[in-house]
Amino acid sequence: MNKLLAQLPVFITPPLLWAGNMIVARAIRDDIPPLTLAFGRWVISLLILLPFAWALMRRDRLRYRQHYRLIIGTALAGIAAFNTFVYIGLHTTTSTNALLLNSCIPVLIMLLGAVFYRQGLNRWQSLGLVLSLAGVAVIILRGSWHNLLALRFAVGDVWVFAATVCWAVYTLWMKRLPADIHRTGLTAVQILIGLFALLPFFLWETVSGATVNWQPAALLGLAYVGIFPSVVAYLCYTAAIARFGAVRAGLSIHLMPVFGTLLAFLLLDEQLHAYHWFGMAAIFGGILLSSRNAEGKP
């Protein structure tokens, strides 16, 4: 248990910062177009990360060549595609629907891992996954199954779901990259590749007449998504994959509705209800169960 608590920060930091990413991106959607937001986010991230990553990138350059297919694949799926699709989707869907769809990521990781890599789950991981999913459903459905009928899906939901598939693929492929490749340098390389992939789409959006409203809130929002959900969260998530494995690390995504609810309470003055607490308890219980091995030991 002490070991689990010591590793908790690297597990909970990504979903906390990513929940903030969705709230901020939704808030500034009328100020910064989605492709500009995605491109600007990664430019900021690269400028912050590069001074720390340059020496590591030079050290591991031969390893990058050996595994270039996986590195390019993870960069396209996790850097270029995921956030871009989410930002496009948030223009026509709600944060609630986006959180609902992102909460499917652990299931997609499990399914894709089983189909393509024959990854199995022990009984504790399976129970934890089911309990955690139940907690997500309680929060999103506000404690009543009748609210399922009120959910409406739009084109934005298709974009967000496509993003969840990209993230599941990214998670599985990251696990296949050797542990001796330093994750800080690797993240910088992936951002570089992602920026090259995004550049033509960013230029297309710019010449198409999309405008940016550089008001203070938009600048602060861009700074937030460029620093915290990008550099900090990505480094923590890659560390979590290395420590816990793809399936267990992916379960942290179930914390996004929890943190999204708490952030809405703190920042948007929304109310907390009993179903929030029941849902949070189920999610945390599921994560604790999934941290056990086949014999039920932490």
Encode pLDDT of 173-212 as tens digits. Answer: 998 999 899 989 999 999 999 999 999 999 999 999 888 9
Residue 14 within any structural domain of the chain: yes
Give the span between the Cα atoms of 119 and 117, in whole angstroms.
5
Q: Is residue 297 part of a domain?
A: no
Query: Residues 270, 274, 278, 281: is their CA dihedral positive or negative?
Result: positive
Q: Is 3 part of a structural domain of the chain?
A: no
Which amino acid would we find at residue 249? Answer: A
Q: How far apart are CA 200 and CA 206, in angstroms?
A: 10
* Count of structural domains, the chain: 1
The single-letter DSSP state of residue 292 is S
**Residue type at position 101:** L
Residue 82 belongs to a domain: yes
- Say if 50 falls within a structural domain: yes
Parent domain of 205: 8-290
pLDDT of 297 > 60? The answer is no
- Rounded (10°) angle between helices 82-89 and 8-27: 40
pTM above 0.85, yes or no: no
Domain for residue 113, yes or no?
yes
CA distance 183 to 186: 5
Q: Is 180 part of any domain?
A: yes
Tens digits of residue pLDDT in 36-86 = 999 999 999 999 999 999 999 999 999 999 999 999 999 999 999 999 999
* Within-domain flag for 273: yes
